[in-house]
Structure 1
Amino acid sequence: MKVNKIAVALVAAAAVPLAGCSASASTPPSSSSAPSAASSTSSSAAAPSSAAPSSAAPSSAAPSSAAPSDGAASTGSASAHIGDASAPSEAAKMICTDETRDNITTVLSVKPDPKPASSWRNHVYTCTYQLPEGPIVLTVHEAADVSAATAYTKAQRSTVQGEKDLTGLNPGAFGTKDGVVVLQKDNDTMRVDTSRLSPQSKLYPRRADFAYNIAAVVLGCWNGD
């Protein structure tokens, strides 16, 4: 796999304050189904994609210089946990908190639905943010252990086209120019999908950048940044 090079660092992270990270999610209505290929980007975000990234991006996790490799990232504050089929973990539910919603608002410079729809089925927690420009879907798959999560994450590559390894997130993270970013932390695999944004939307040309930055924001919460 080719490794995407980040042409511009996420220098705006220090200048643009993002909301803090909450250990527990809000309680949005449980109505959405599993995510389709969807993802979103912002005119102020900078992220690796096949297109040239913009100059800056608000994000709580700055990209590192280490090249991605297979395997799970090290454990952060949202530590590894044993998968439980009955309910998502607190770490998984972070994708649907008020803080994450506010951070998406900052990254995209738009106002998402204040009550995103969530669901939990087949070990996958899904949170859908419905914007006028189209849906942004975040999911977390919870595996029984790290090795199972690694296998699941690798298998996700076959579900997208044109995927490339991404630097600056976790080892093994990858994304597409259409706006899908997938990364693993411990036994969780997160997918950010902005690909269903309307082609007529001002967000559409930079959907891959926005997906990257949203993933970085959540990863920062998982790492306790």
Structure 2
Amino acid sequence: MTTRPSRPPARTVAALLLALAAAACAAPPGPGPSAAAPPGARTSATADLGPSPASLMVCAGSVPTQLSGAFGTDPATPPAGTWAQHLYTCTYAYAEGTLLITVKELADRATAAAHFEGLRGSAGPVTPVTGLGDAAYTRADGSTVVLRDGSVLTVDVHRLPERFGRPPRSRSNVSVTVATTVMICWKEHAP
């Protein structure tokens, strides 16, 4: 009879992730994107002012460093971001595959909630994730979508292998780790 190693309870894993991310974001903010307010803090997303500093944070500042530490691997090239139609996209290109982090900035929380629900409706089966942003879920491919204030964060892991990092972890674990890291950093740097 083969026994499988026991896994720590999900709450223990989540608490550990939160503690690690909070410790890394707790450093005093320096100049640049890491000192920004979270998405939704803008008065209006109707004028295209470019991505908010909080959106930029997913590609710069402490987030890439934290993700490298969490996954035990660095991207092959520095993360690169683009901005179009109120959507900031950051690409992490690893030797094993690609991780995409997007932040859709919307006019207000109600508009963001409607966008979040629209994505949920088109995602097929989803698993709710509690304690992350205002609402969150994981899709069947392991990707995580989070509603936070006037923005929707999507961590798309479908281009990563089924097991990623050192030590290897599931895609859904990777996406929840990324989303948790971003949410904690946004909270740490909120006004």
TM-score, structure 2 length as denominator? 0.77
- Give the equivalent residue in structure 2 for 1:111: 74
Does residue 196 (structure 1) correspond to residue 150 (structure 2)? The answer is no
CA shift at 1:23, angstroms? Answer: 6.8
- Give the equivalent residue in structure 2 for 1:180: 143
Deviations 1:144-183 (A, max 9, x none): 1111111111111133232121112123211124221111
Alignment partners' CA distance in 1, 2:31 and 2:103: 15
- Give the equivalent residue in structure 2 for 1:211: 175
1:74-153 → structure 2 map (5 Å cutoff)? 77-78=37-38, 80-81=41-42, 82-83=44-45, 84-153=47-116
Name the SS of the counterpart of 1:168 in structure 2.
coil
- Give the equivalent residue in structure 2 for 1:18: 24
Alignment partners' CA distance in 1, 2:30 and 2:52: 13
CA shift at 1:127, angstroms? Answer: 0.2
CA shift at 1:99, angstroms? Answer: 1.2
CA shift at 1:202, angstroms? Answer: 4.3
Which of the two has higher C-alpha Rg? 2
Alignment partners' CA distance in 2, 1:23 and 1:142: 22
CA shift at 1:7, angstroms? Answer: 4.9
Alignment check: 8 A CA contact 1:141 1:188 kept: yes
Task: State percent identity of aligned pairs.
Answer: 26
CA RMSD of aligned residues (A): 2.7
- Give the equivalent residue in structure 2 for 1:53: none
Which residue of 157, 177, 185 corresponds with 1:221?
185
- Give the equivalent residue in structure 1 for 2:3: none
Name the SS of the counterpart of 1:112 in structure 2.
coil
CA shift at 1:80, angstroms? Answer: 1.7
CA shift at 1:18, angstroms? Answer: 2.8
> CA separation of 1:128/1:23 partners in 2, compared to 1, >3 Å: closer, same or farther?
farther
Alignment partners' CA distance in 2, 1:118 and 1:170: 22
- Give the equivalent residue in structure 1 for 2:5: none
CA shift at 1:222, angstroms? Answer: 1.1
Alignment check: 8 A CA contact 2:81 2:90 kept: yes
Which one has a larger percent helix, Structure 1 or Structure 2?
A: 2
Name the SS of the counterpart of 1:18 in structure 2.
helix
Which one has a larger percent strand, Structure 1 or Structure 2?
A: 2
> CA separation of 1:186/1:171 partners in 2, compared to 1, >3 Å: closer, same or farther?
closer
Runs of 5+ unmatched residues, structure 1 = 27-75
Count of matched residue pairs: 171
- Give the equivalent residue in structure 1 for 2:6: none
Runs of 5+ unmatched residues, structure 2 = 1-8
Residue identity opposite 1:24 in structure 2: G
Alignment partners' CA distance in 2, 1:125 and 1:116: 12
TM-score, structure 1 length as denominator? 0.66
CA shift at 1:198, angstroms? Answer: 2.7
Alignment check: 8 A CA contact 1:138 1:190 kept: yes
Residue identity opposite 1:146 in structure 2: R
Alignment check: 8 A CA contact 1:24 1:93 kept: no
- Give the equivalent residue in structure 2 for 1:159: 122
Alignment partners' CA distance in 2, 1:153 and 1:88: 19
> CA separation of 1:15/1:154 partners in 2, compared to 1, >3 Å: closer, same or farther?
closer
Alignment check: 8 A CA contact 1:116 1:130 kept: yes
Deviations 1:163-214 (A, max 9, x none): 1211121232111242211111111111011111134x54475110110011
Deviations 1:55-90 (A, max 9, x none): xxxxxxxxxxxxxxxxxxxxx953621214241111
